[in-house]
């Protein structure tokens, strides 16, 4: 049972489910309170109220705690309890699907080269250019979405424009599947997502590829890639009104701050709201001509901070469940001093993945060691937890070599 308490009532032994500040502001997600230092850290981040889970930790006097019986105003629908699932580079289903997922991903990136070349040349597109490509992506996603999703940040493609369209499609399909879209709708949705950025090929290249910040006037021109894309797709697919949907809506935001039409909430289709999350996540975690990539953990934190503002709360929650707080391939430092790669994610406990330890106290280990962060000691305390998320480049670590080649 969840209870809402003040920071003054927080005690060692309680399990904190959530705090009144976003995770971007507080480097703390869900943890057992094991020391007064943790409580003082929360005070330093100006946490005033929090929710504890009495089923996972100590309770408080009922005169102090306020039971959470109903959702807070404006909160999203309660998520169904997630089905326990392990996403793992060592899982047999993952390994079996990986070759097919790699092939589907490579074919899709190659197809985007051809599609964008046609758009630049003013040649109309045809359904067969996308149908089979998306069929293979959907099939792989339906068999094992973890294998396909892992490729988005582990495959090495230099040209962002092409891989971005495929990555967003993969993330959108994964989220759509989690939200219950059936196979037929995933196919139609995927075709729309794959073509969401074709309008960028109709924007002057000196603006599209500008290494610095766009001027206000240049940004207004860049924003026209949505409507230019819609017009092009309507001409190419006159009998498919669904194809241009995502091109039109992927920059709309739930609070009305997006473009081109400033739509709000459910004025935006489900497809548009799903793709908005996927598009921003991939953009943040990708290197561009004008910026470095963000660590996936930081990108997810930013998206979470915009939950209920730019993005549909339920879709953000589901996306985090799909991709993970520490996505596969993240390099982390543990509280016990080891540095290693996240190689599996628990669906029911996102902050206690399996980590392949590569370094201990700054020294490369002779043999990597697989560590289960869900392990506890006799008192129920976790033996080790994630202390910090690091850049693989800083340690010269290639995540793909450890995950895709296991």
The side-by-side arrangement of strands in the sheet containing 2-6 is: 31-32, 15-19, 49-53, 2-6, 66-67
Q: Which CATH architecture has domain 86-323?
A: Orthogonal Bundle (1.10)
CA–CA–CA angle 194, 252, 276 (5° rounding): 45
Residue with tokens 């909430």: 265
pLDDT band for position 62 (50/70/90)? very low
Residues near 231 by beta carbon (within 8 Å), at least 6 away in sequence? none
The token pair at 252 is 């709309």
pLDDT band for position 188 (50/70/90)? very high
Least confident range from 1-5, 23-27, 39-43, 186-190: namely: 23-27
What percent of the chain is predicted at pLDDT more than 70?
87
For β-strands 386-390 and 363-372, DSSP reports them as unpaired
Question: What is the tens place of the pLDDT at every residue in 75-103?
Answer: 444 333 334 455 566 666 888 999 999 99
Q: Against a cut of 0.75, is the pTM above it?
A: yes
Provide the pLDDT for residue 70: 40
CB 191 within 8 A of CB 243: yes
Is 1 exposed, middle or buried, given 0-12, 13-18 or 19+ CB atoms closer than 10 A?
exposed
Provide the pLDDT for residue 66: 42
Most confident of 38-52, 286-300, 387-401: 387-401
The token pair at 256 is 């009305």
The token pair at 215 is 């001027």
User: How is the chain split into domains, by residue range?
Assistant: 2-67, 86-323, 331-403
SS3 181: coil
In this prediction, residues 270-290 reach a mean pLDDT of 93
Stated as kind and residue range, the H or E segment containing 400 is helix 399-403
The token pair at 272 is 């548009």
pLDDT band for position 37 (50/70/90)? confident
Least confident range from 38-47, 81-90, 124-133: namely: 81-90
Provide the pLDDT for residue 30: 55
Provide the pLDDT for residue 154: 83
CA-based nearest residue to 402, from 360, 350, 340, 345: 340
Residue 118: CB atoms within 10 A of its CB come to: 17
What percent of the chain is predicted at pLDDT more than 90?
60
CB 72 within 8 A of CB 49: no
Distance CA(63)–CA(230), nearest Å, equals: 59
Question: What is the tens place of the pLDDT at every residue in 67-76?
Answer: 443 444 444 4
Between helix 296-305 and helix 313-323 the angle, nearest 10°, is 160
Provide the pLDDT for residue 138: 98
Residues near 180 by beta carbon (within 8 Å), at least 6 away in sequence? none
The token pair at 204 is 């002057």
In this prediction, residues 118-126 reach a mean pLDDT of 96
Residues near 396 by beta carbon (within 8 Å), at least 6 away in sequence? none
Provide the pLDDT for residue 59: 82
pLDDT higher for 1 or 11?
A: 11
Measure Cα distances from 319 to 307, 313, 394 in Å.
11, 10, 28
Provide the pLDDT for residue 122: 95
Provide the pLDDT for residue 23: 56
pLDDT band for position 191 (50/70/90)? very high
The answer on pLDDT for 160 being more than 90 is: no
Provide the pLDDT for residue 44: 63
| Sign, Cα dihedral of 89, 93, 99, 100 | negative
Distance CA(287)–CA(291), nearest Å, equals: 6
Question: What is the tens place of the pLDDT at every residue in 353-380?
Answer: 999 999 999 999 999 999 999 999 998 8
pLDDT band for position 21 (50/70/90)? low
Provide the pLDDT for residue 165: 96
Measure Cα distances from 297 to 70, 179, 378 in Å.
30, 22, 31
Helix, strand, coil shares of the chain, percent, nearest 5, are 45, 15, 40
In this prediction, residues 296-306 reach a mean pLDDT of 91
Distance CA(310)–CA(321), nearest Å, equals: 19
Measure Cα distances from 155 to 93, 205, 280, 400 in Å.
19, 26, 19, 7
């Amino acid at each position: 049972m969840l209870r809402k308490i003040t920071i003054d009532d927080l005690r060692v032994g309680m399990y904190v489910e959530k705090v009144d500040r976003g995770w971007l502001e507080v480097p703390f997600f869900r943890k057992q309170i094991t020391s007064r230092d943790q409580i003082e850290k929360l005070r330093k981040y100006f946490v005033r109220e929090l929710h504890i889970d009495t089923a996972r930790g100590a309770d408080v006097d009922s005169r102090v705690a306020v039971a959470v019986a109903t959702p807070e105003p404006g909160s999203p629908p309660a998520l169904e309890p997630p089905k326990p699932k392990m996403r793992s580079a060592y899982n047999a289903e993952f390994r079996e699907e990986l070759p097919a997922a790699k092939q589907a991903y490579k074919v899709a990136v190659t197809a985007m080269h051809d599609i964008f070349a046609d758009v630049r040349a003013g040649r109309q597109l045809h359904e067969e250019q996308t149908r089979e490509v998306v069929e293979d992506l959907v099939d792989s996603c339906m068999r094992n979405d973890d294998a396909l999703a892992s490729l988005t940040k582990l495959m090495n493609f230099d040209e962002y424009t092409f891989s971005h369209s495929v990555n967003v499609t993969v993330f959108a399909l994964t989220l759509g599947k989690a939200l219950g879209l059936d196979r037929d709708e995933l196919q139609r949705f995927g075709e729309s997502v794959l073509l969401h950025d074709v309008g960028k090929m109709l924007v002057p290249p000196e603006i599209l590829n500008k290494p610095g910040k766009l001027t206000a006037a240049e940004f207004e021109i860049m924003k026209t890639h949505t409507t230019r894309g819609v017009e092009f797709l309507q001409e190419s697919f006159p009998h498919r009104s669904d194809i241009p949907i995502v091109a039109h809506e992927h920059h709309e935001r739930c609070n009305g701050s997006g473009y081109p039409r400033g739509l709000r909430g459910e004025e935006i289709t489900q497809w548009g709201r799903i793709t908005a999350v996927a598009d921003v996540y991939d953009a943040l975690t990708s290197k561009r001509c004008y910026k470095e990539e963000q660590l996936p953990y930081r990108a997810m934190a930013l998206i979470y901070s915009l939950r209920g503002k730019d993005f549909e709360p339920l879709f953000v929650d589901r996306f985090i469940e799909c991709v993970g707080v520490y996505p596969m391939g993240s390099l982390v430092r543990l509280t016990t001093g080891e540095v290693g790669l996240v190689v599996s994610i628990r669906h029911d406990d996102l902050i206690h993945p399996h980590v392949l330890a590569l370094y201990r106290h700054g020294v490369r280990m002779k043999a990597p060691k697989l560590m289960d962060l869900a392990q506890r000691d006799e008192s129920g305390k976790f033996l080790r937890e994630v202390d910090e998320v690091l850049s693989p480049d800083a340690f010269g670590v290639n995540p793909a070599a450890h995950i895709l080649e296991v």
